[in-house]
Structures are given as C-alpha cells and as structure tokens.
A and B are shown apart, each in its own frame.
Chain A
Amino acid sequence: MTALNNSSNWQTLCHKDDLVKYSGVCALLDNEQQVAIFFIDDENVFTISNWDPAGKANVLYRGLIGDDNGEVFVASPLYKERFSLSSGQCLDDESLSVTSYVTRIEQEQVQVLV
C-alpha cells in the first residue's frame, strides 16, 4: 500500500482493519520514519515513533500495552522501558522519550498529523 496525503498535514497510513486490538502495528511515514500504531478502540488510537531509544532498535510496535494508573503505555519488548502512548515520555527514565503523533480514524482510514 502506498501512503497518501489526504490534506496538508494529515497523513494516511493504513486501513482500520490493519490494526490489531490492544496491540501495535508498524507503518512507514512518507519521510521513511517508522511509527508504531496502537489500537485500543476507535477513540483511543495512538502513534509514537517505533525506535526504542534504550534498546536502539525499531521494535516498539511489538511491545505489550498496559496502563499505569490510567496512563496508557507500551513496554519495550527489549528491555521493558515503558513509554506513554499519549506523550511518548518514558515512565521509567526521565531522560528518554519518543515522538508521539496525533492520530485519528477518518472513514476507516488511520491518519496521523505530521
């Protein structure tokens, strides 16, 4: 599938059916950056950078998601650092964070603001 530009800054990444409930998938932005998209429900779709700054590999989409007092996070599959899905901030190490993207589902299409 090719990424499309629907508007000036919303980038369409995939179809809603490509997402996996309570889990992550990986997509490539137009600029070749990798992002991890996590799907909880239609209102709660999160996108963050796929690069794990602690493990130094593109693996975040393969992490397990959970919540810490309501803060939804993904735990890196490599060394288990937890990153907030809404802010990208690492919950275990203040000095680490990843980019987070505003995400929406528009007519079954998954879009991020870039």
Chain B
Amino acid sequence: MSSGTQSKQNIVVVGNGMVGHHFVEQLSQNSNYNITVLCAESRLAYDRVHLSEYFSGKTADDLALTTPETYQQLGVNFYLDAKVTTIDKSKKIVITEQGESFSYDKLVLATGSYPFVPPIPGKDREHCLVYRTIDDLDAIQASANAGKSGVVVGGGLLGLEAANALKELGLETHVVEFAPQLMGVQLDQAGGQQLRKMIEELGVTVHTEKATNVIVDGETSVHKMEFADGSHLETDLILFSAGIRPYDNLAREFNLTVGERGGIVVNNQCQTSDDDIYAIGECALWNNFIFGLVAPGYTMAKVAASHITGGDESFTGADMSTKLKLMGVEVGSIGDAHARTPGAQSYTYQNERDNVYKKMVVSQDGKTLLGAVLVGDTSEYDSLLQYALNGIELPENPDALILPSNGGEKPTLGVDSLPDTATICSCLNVTKGDIVAAVDAGATDVGAIKSVTKATTGCGGCSALLKNVAENEFAKRGLEVKKDICSHFVYSRTELFHIIKAEKIRNFDTLISKHGKGMGCEICKPAVASILASVYNDYILQDDHLHLQDTNDTYLGNMQKDGTYSVVPRMPGGEVTPDKLIVIGEVAKEYNLYTKVTGGQRIDLFGARVEQLPAIWKRLIDAGMETGHAYGKSLRTVKSCVGSTWCRYGVQDSMSMAIYLEERYKGLRSPHKIKFAVSGCTRECAEAQSKDIGVIATENGWNLYVSGNGGMKPRHGDLFATDLDDATLIKYIDRYLMFYVRMADRLQRTSVWLESLEGGLEYMQKVVKDDHLGINDELERQMDAVVATYQCEWKTTVESPEKLKRFRQFVNSDKQDVNIQFVSEREQIRPATLTEKAAKGLLIETVEIATVEPA
C-alpha cells in the first residue's frame, strides 16, 4: 500500500455480497481507515433479495447496490475476480488466487454461503444448476431457452423463489420437496398446505415427500429423476435449492474455529477465534446459529464496524420473522410458528374460499404472542410482529386480531404502548427510539424522519407503522402535522379558505401574489378554484378562473381515456319526462354517442369530441335540460325511490324531497364530489346510508345520515338526527355541507373528513344542532348565497361566442383528431383499442362521426 497512508489502519474485506457491502458503507463514513475489498465475483455487490426480478426485466445494473465510481469516491480500493486463497494470521496478510497479497490490521470475512446440492448421482449433469448469483441466472436463462420444463429441488423459501423464476421463463414448473410440506421452517402444516394449494392454482406442480435417488437420461426430456418411492419425473432443467452452507473453507484451512456443522464461530462483537479477524453474514455462526436472512447480516456488519472503530455495539441475535410474496401469494411467519414453546396455545382461522390461513401462537396465560403464520393475507403482520417482539399484552379476545372484522371494530395496536426498543424497520434496524430521537432533533414530517433514519427505504413494508409512530410523536409534542397544500402555499386548504374569505380575495393571481409563490400547480390551482367557487360562485370559465380548473371543469365534461368527453344532463332524483328522454335519444343518435344509464340514475352519453360539446349542449338546453355537473367536485346526484307516491310501503314523498334537495344544492363546489339519496321508507331502496347525505323517511318525518360513502372504502353513514320536519332537515344539511366545504382538506370525502374531525360525530352534532361555534347563521347565509347565484354553466358557455372558441380541436384547422376512433360493440360505439387502431382498415368497421354544427 502507498506510504502516505501508514497512519491509517488497513481493513481488508473478503467478499462483496450484500452484507460485505453494508459493512463497507458503515465503515467508509469514517476516514481513519484504508478499506480494501476483495471480491471473488466479477461484479460489485448486488441485491440478491430481488434476484428473481432479473427474469421479469430488471438488469444487472438495476440490481447493483453500488458502482465502481461510488467506491472510488468513498476511497475504497476494490479488486474484482480476486478470490482469496490464503490467510496468514502471523504476518497478517491475505493472498489471492492471482498471488497478490494484501496486508491487514483487521480482516473481515463476508464470504456468505453457497447452495447446498444433495449428493445425488447425476447432480453434475448438464442443465443441473443452482440459483444464487447473477451468473447462475444467466446459465438458467440459457438452459431454459433450450427446454420446456424445469424442476426445483427444495420447497423452502429460496426454492419457491427459484420456481417463480422458472415460471417467469415460461417453463412448465415442478417443485420437489423431501419433507411433507412446503416452507417447513417458517410455516406449520396447515399453512404449508394452504400455500401449496395456492401455488398449484398458479400452475406449479408440487411433489412432497419425494427423495431423489438418481438423475439419468430422460426418454422425452433431458433428465429423468428417479425417486425413492419408485415414481419418476422427466424434465429439461433441474435447479437445486435445498438450503445453504456457509463459505467457511478459508477459516477451516487456516485454523479459525468453525462449528460442527460449519460456519465461522463468532462472539457478540462478530470476532472469530482470532481477535483481528471478523466474520459477518451467512458465513458466521453465532450461538450455534446461522442467519440466512439479510437483516441479521446487516446488523452484524454494523456491529463489526462499530467494534473496529471503538464502539460498543453487540450482536445479540436476530428475529427470523419474515413476510414475503411468493408468486403473488402473501406469506408471513413470526417467531414460534410451530407452537413449540411449552404450554403454547394456538388460534387458527382458515377460509378455504378466499385461500386465507392464519394462526396465532400465544403463551400459556394467553397474554403474549409467541408466533404466527399468515398465508394468503399478511395485512396483520406488522401489528402481530410488534406484539411478539415487544411482549405487548394481548387484548382480551386475541383472536380478534386475525379474524375478519365483518363490520366490527378491530382492536388496533396503540403505538404509544411500544417500547423505545421496538424495531419499526427491520431491514435497516430502525427502532421507535431512533424515530423519537429524529423528532427530538427537529424532524417535523414523515419525510424528514425517513431521510434521517433511513426507515422504509429497504422493503418499505413498515411505512404505515412508521407514519403511525411518527404522527403519534408529533401529536405528543403538540406539533401540528404539516398540511401545506403544495410547494406554492404554506397553508392548508382550510387556511386558504379562511384567507380568501377574510380578505375577500376573488381570484388566484391576487392570492398567490399576496400569500404564495411561483405560478401554482395542478394541486393548488383546482383547490383554490373550488374555494373561490364555494365562496363567490362565479362562472368558472371566467377569464381569471379558467386556467385554474381541473381537466373536467375546463371543458365542462368528463374526459375519457381517448380524450373524448361524456355528457350528463341533470335529471333530479332520476325523474325525466318522455319528451326529454326522446331528445336525449335523438342527440345520442345524431352524434353517435354511446348511451348508458349511470349508477346515479342519470343518462351518460359517451364519445363526444371536444368540438361537438357546444352543439350537443345547445340541443339539450333548448329542450329544457341543464348541466348535471357530472364533471365537477360538486353535488352529483340525489338518488331516490318513488316513495309514498307510487310505492305500497312508502311513508313520505321521497321523490319530491330528492328533487328539492338536488335543485337546492346543484352547482355547490366542494372539496370532493358529493352524492345524496332519499329513501321513502326503511326498506332503503335508494341506498341512502352509503351516501354523503342520506335521508330515510320515517312515520314521523326524516332520519338524516351523514358521511356515508360507497367509494373505495365503503362506509355506512352515521345517524345524525331523527324524525326531522322538512325545514329542519334542510337547515341541518345546509350547515353540515357548508361546514364541510370550509373545513375539509382538498379531495377529502365527507367520510374521511368526519373520521379525522376531532370529536367526530358528536362534535359535529354540537356544531350543527346546538350552534356550538356560533357560526350557523353565517353557514346558512353562505348556502343561501350559493343557491341564489346558481347558473347552468353550459348555458352561460353556449351563449358566449368568445368562450366557444375554447372548444375548437385545432385553432388553425377544421380537421378532427384522427387518433379518436371507434368500433361497434352491442350496436353502439366504443373506443378502438391500440391493436384495433393499428389494424385499421383491415379488420375494423370504422364508424362515421357527425360533423360539427355551428353552435
């Protein structure tokens, strides 16, 4: 080594797998060391955990964990294809295959492990391979190209991973396992069976209790595997994945202590029997145990680096719980999955229809969780892991933790009860204490915590838990969780609402020049447009508002995937006269529009080109119809049944009420779209409880439900008030809606808003019914103003030649967009697929589109 570095210690690292690389990263932060990496492979460290993605399109570069340039920048010397053959402990040098020698002050062995190949006669035949390195993958790929079927020997975690790879390569895939079940280390028998069923459903054949006696020439394929039970299997490719063995040959040859069954013996500081030689990762044997996962290896790397630099960290074992996705099947295993602890008791839940199996193993007294098995659904993994790792006392009926909620509340894990030592991110070993420290050091949002602690940057599985812990810590310190709407305003939507109202600001330009910066963006502009509309209810395509509108508002229609629009005239309560129905039909026919009844009792006309919209709307308006605001974050529909007018059971006139409500609130801009429904009796034909506002008739009046939702996360509305008369019902809805419009975040549904509102339903009842905040007069006044200033935006638009110019496809041509093409299906149009467009003129019946009429 060069003379100028004599004062620095020489650290030589043998092996550059994930763990060896992690060690280099840890130590290179300290400039007091000369680090030399000797790497037997021809490339630097790469991500072995995601190796199988190599077959689904990732390249070696994508998998790389570092680059030669990065190592150079870090000042790390590295040698590729440099396999170490000699360790001279007395001279403190190592020698490579090429005869180059490197002297060390401290030597770190991170040689990893190799796949175990059972001693089966025929195991060395061509197309018998292992699955460990990128070079192995290249060999597998080449071999797969020449064959049709493949067998993986070994049904453990890695074997199934390898089977997935063979499947990705298009081979007919088999798994041959010696034991009676798959993943015997991590799963119990029932879990293994469930996993087998799911994997077989994916087209992989599983053979258990098969011992291979010999591999010989096949009759129809390359190989024939003969099993001990007399059966046999023919295949073109065999992959051995029957476990790993530590690479400890250097240690054996040069007299470092190794375990009876292999592995370099290390102490809690990861030192071997020679104090100046460390071993980390899968080559190291700690407490008679080899850890075949990357996370414990990372911990060892950290401990060794700490010890070399004078730190006092120590390795005290690692949790072997795992959560993974095998061929799309979710599998989780925690702690004592087999219930081997004396006195352990189990709860199991099996749902064969949905392919879900869950087991919890609890202590004799039922208070602590010892282990768990999850197959088919691992959503409870994070919580269960925290219970198990931290000995948190289980709730009274612990099985509720794995049972489906069926509408009831599931017990949630209070993050406050987690001790500071609780591991939140096991990939990077980040504890709750680390997160608390980051918050104490000034982190005020989850992003800052991530960048300080690196939590979630591994597999990412802990992000929900991290957010939970972080927000709990913010709340404890009275820190407000940052709710800035975007980088242009340091205010939340609610705050912007108050600013606009208090300063009587009427357009975006004034707002951003006084209270923001830059030009705005797709986040803040539509939000401000919505606030301005709620407060002033101006025409939304007015010059200073036009550029703020979200896509659909800009052209007053719902943009579909091909750039055409759908047209929805308002049909209050779903009621429509025959004459209007005929006009809708005529328009649809004339413009050849696809026609469908919506889920909200209206008629949707699809496939209108932007330049056709004005003419279509003019026809509808002339026939007495108006815009349905189907494009807006505003009131969409009020669904209804016919109520007491026609129905034998109806107790109130739900039809009239639905129409009244729709007429009253139409055009109200809100943080999210809103839907109502009114049912004429408790049979609930209008499904009012799944709407933002649900009204259900009773003998004595109306029951009001609020904040229901039929969207992505369905929620039944909460019963807000009962037996209301018409006037009180309207008053309450006015106040509730306007309060929501003021307070909610951008794009926050009423359901989410209610759940995030401190005090929840009870608080809202106090505000709306008891005027707790003394703002009800104002809320009502504001609603009255919105109602009084309603306009049909399409009517205003078709009456303005200036506005209509916006609806030209081209400013310099009358041509049409040739990319918009339709084909016929069930006697109507639908957008042509890309393939159909490519084949245009040959296979496709193209449809003539009506030319644009002057509006």
Verify B518–A20 contact, CB threshold 8 A: no
Is B359 interfacial (CB-CB < 8 Å)? no
Residues of chain B within 8 A of A80, CB atoms compared: 522
Closest to B555 in A: A62
Verify B810–A62 contact, CB threshold 8 A: no
Is B843 interfacial (CB-CB < 8 Å)? no
Q: How far is the CB of B358 from chain A (nearest CB, A)?
A: 37
Name A22's contact: one of B524, B526, B547, B819 (CB within 8 Å).
B547
Residues of chain A within 8 A of B60, CB atoms compared: none
Verify B812–A63 contact, CB threshold 8 A: no
Verify A2–B521 contact, CB threshold 8 A: no
Name B811's contact: one of A14, A21, A40 (CB within 8 Å).
A14
Query: Can you pick out 5 interface pairs between chain A and chain B where the beta carbons lie within 8 Å of each other?
Result: A14-B812, A23-B554, A66-B520, A66-B522, A69-B518
Verify B562–A65 contact, CB threshold 8 A: no
Name A78's contact: one of B525, B561, B811 (CB within 8 Å).
B561
Is B546 interfacial (CB-CB < 8 Å)? yes
Verify B522–A58 contact, CB threshold 8 A: no
Residues of chain B within 8 A of A37, CB atoms compared: 811
Given contacts A66-B521, A67-B521, contact A13 B562 (CB under 8 A): no
Is A105 interfacial (CB-CB < 8 Å)? no
Verify B809–A78 contact, CB threshold 8 A: no
Verify A62–B551 contact, CB threshold 8 A: yes
Query: 1/0 contact trace for B798-824 toward A, CB 8 Å?
Result: 000000011011111101011110000
Verify A27–B812 contact, CB threshold 8 A: yes
Verify B811–A25 contact, CB threshold 8 A: yes
Q: How far is the CB of B556 from chain A (nearest CB, A)?
A: 12
Given contacts A1-B811, A34-B817, contact A67 B834 (CB under 8 A): no
Residues of chain A within 8 A of B520, CB atoms compared: 66-67
Verify A68–B487 contact, CB threshold 8 A: yes
Verify A59–B810 contact, CB threshold 8 A: no
Verify B812–A20 contact, CB threshold 8 A: no
Verify A57–B521 contact, CB threshold 8 A: no
Number of interface residues of A (CB under 8 A): 40
Verify B810–A28 contact, CB threshold 8 A: yes
Is B686 interfacial (CB-CB < 8 Å)? no
Verify A26–B547 contact, CB threshold 8 A: no
Closest to B547 in A: A22
Is B838 interfacial (CB-CB < 8 Å)? no
Name A26's contact: one of B519, B559, B811, B818 (CB within 8 Å).
B811
Q: How far is the CB of B99 from chain A (nearest CB, A)?
A: 45
Which residues B815-847 have CB closer than 8 A to chain A? 815, 817-820, 834
Which residues A13-66 have CB closer than 8 A to chain B? 13-14, 18, 20-23, 25-28, 32, 34, 37, 40, 51, 55-59, 62-66
Closest to A80 in B: B522
Is B396 interfacial (CB-CB < 8 Å)? no
Verify B554–A62 contact, CB threshold 8 A: yes
Verify B518–A70 contact, CB threshold 8 A: yes
Is B543 interfacial (CB-CB < 8 Å)? yes
Is B563 interfacial (CB-CB < 8 Å)? yes
Residues of chain B within 8 A of A28, CB atoms compared: 810, 812-813, 815
Residues of chain B within 8 A of A67, CB atoms compared: 518-521
9 other contacts beyond A23-B546, A27-B812, with CB at 8 A cut-off? A18-B811, A20-B546, A20-B806, A22-B546, A32-B818, A62-B559, A63-B551, A72-B519, A78-B559
In this complex, the member of A20, A51, A73 whose beta carbon has the largest number of chain B beta carbons within 10 angstroms is A20
What 3 A-B pairs are tightest by C-beta distance, nearest first?
Answer: A66-B521, A22-B547, A77-B551
Per the bound structure, the CA–CA distance linking A78 and B551 in Å amounts to: 8
Residues of chain A within 8 A of B248, CB atoms compared: none
Verify B810–A77 contact, CB threshold 8 A: no
Per the bound structure, the CA–CA distance linking A70 and B562 in Å amounts to: 31
Closest to B837 in A: A56
Given contacts A14-B811, A75-B522, A77-B551, contact A59 B806 (CB under 8 A): no
Is B550 interfacial (CB-CB < 8 Å)? yes
Name A1's contact: one of B487, B546, B813 (CB within 8 Å).
B813
Per the bound structure, the CA–CA distance linking A2 and B546 in Å amounts to: 28
Q: How far is the CB of A64 from chain B (nearest CB, A)?
A: 5
Q: Size band of the B side of the interface?
A: 35 or more
Residues of chain A within 8 A of B554, CB atoms compared: 23, 62, 64, 77
Verify B813–A82 contact, CB threshold 8 A: no
Query: 1/0 contact trace for B560-573 toward A, CB 8 Å?
Result: 01110000000000
Closest to A75 in B: B522
Per the bound structure, the CA–CA distance linking A23 and B551 in Å amounts to: 12
Is A3 interfacial (CB-CB < 8 Å)? yes
Closest to A38 in B: B547
Verify B811–A66 contact, CB threshold 8 A: no
Name B525's contact: one of A55, A57, A66, A72 (CB within 8 Å).
A66
Per the bound structure, the CA–CA distance linking A3 and B610 in Å amounts to: 22
Q: How far is the CB of B129 from chain A (nearest CB, A)?
A: 33
Name A65's contact: one of B519, B805, B809 (CB within 8 Å).
B519
Closest to A22 in B: B547
Verify B563–A68 contact, CB threshold 8 A: no
Verify A64–B559 contact, CB threshold 8 A: no
Verify A57–B812 contact, CB threshold 8 A: no
Given contacts A58-B819, A62-B559, contact A68 B521 (CB under 8 A): yes
Per the bound structure, the CA–CA distance linking A18 and B806 in Å amounts to: 9
Closest to A51 in B: B819
Residues of chain A within 8 A of B813, CB atoms compared: 1, 3, 27-28
Which residues A65-113 have CB closer than 8 A to chain B? 65-70, 72-73, 75, 77-78, 80, 82
Residues of chain B within 8 A of A62, CB atoms compared: 551, 554-555, 559, 563, 610
Given contacts A34-B817, A66-B525, A82-B522, contact A3 B812 (CB under 8 A): yes
Per the bound structure, the CA–CA distance linking A62 and B806 in Å amounts to: 10
In this complex, the member of A13, A56, A66, A77 whose beta carbon has the largest number of chain B beta carbons within 10 angstroms is A66
Per the bound structure, the CA–CA distance linking A62 and B810 in Å amounts to: 12
Which residues B538-587 have CB closer than 8 A to chain A? 543, 546-551, 554-555, 559, 561-563
Closest to A79 in B: B561
Closest to A73 in B: B521
Verify A27–B522 contact, CB threshold 8 A: no
Per the bound structure, the CA–CA distance linking A102 and B546 in Å amounts to: 26
Residues of chain A within 8 A of B561, CB atoms compared: 55, 57, 78
Verify B819–A21 contact, CB threshold 8 A: no
Per the bound structure, the CA–CA distance linking A13 and B546 in Å amounts to: 23
Verify A27–B810 contact, CB threshold 8 A: yes
Residues of chain B within 8 A of A78, CB atoms compared: 551, 559, 561, 563
Closest to B813 in A: A28
Residues of chain B within 8 A of A65, CB atoms compared: 519, 547
Closest to A25 in B: B811
Per the bound structure, the CA–CA distance linking A20 and B811 in Å amounts to: 11
Residues of chain B within 8 A of A2, CB atoms compared: 812
Verify A13–B819 contact, CB threshold 8 A: no
Residues of chain B within 8 A of A69, CB atoms compared: 487, 518
Q: How far is the CB of B752 from chain A (nearest CB, A)?
A: 20
Per the bound structure, the CA–CA distance linking A23 and B529 in Å amounts to: 15
Name A59's contact: one of B525, B526, B559 (CB within 8 Å).
B559
Closest to B834 in A: A56
Closest to A40 in B: B519
Residues of chain A within 8 A of B805, CB atoms compared: 18
Verify A57–B526 contact, CB threshold 8 A: no
Q: How far is the CB of B607 from chain A (nearest CB, A)?
A: 13
Verify B834–A58 contact, CB threshold 8 A: no
Verify A58–B817 contact, CB threshold 8 A: yes
Per the bound structure, the CA–CA distance linking A25 and B546 in Å amounts to: 13
Q: How far is the CB of A77 from chain B (nearest CB, A)?
A: 4
Q: How far is the CB of A3 from chain B (nearest CB, A)?
A: 6
Verify A1–B819 contact, CB threshold 8 A: no
Per the bound structure, the CA–CA distance linking A75 and B552 in Å amounts to: 13
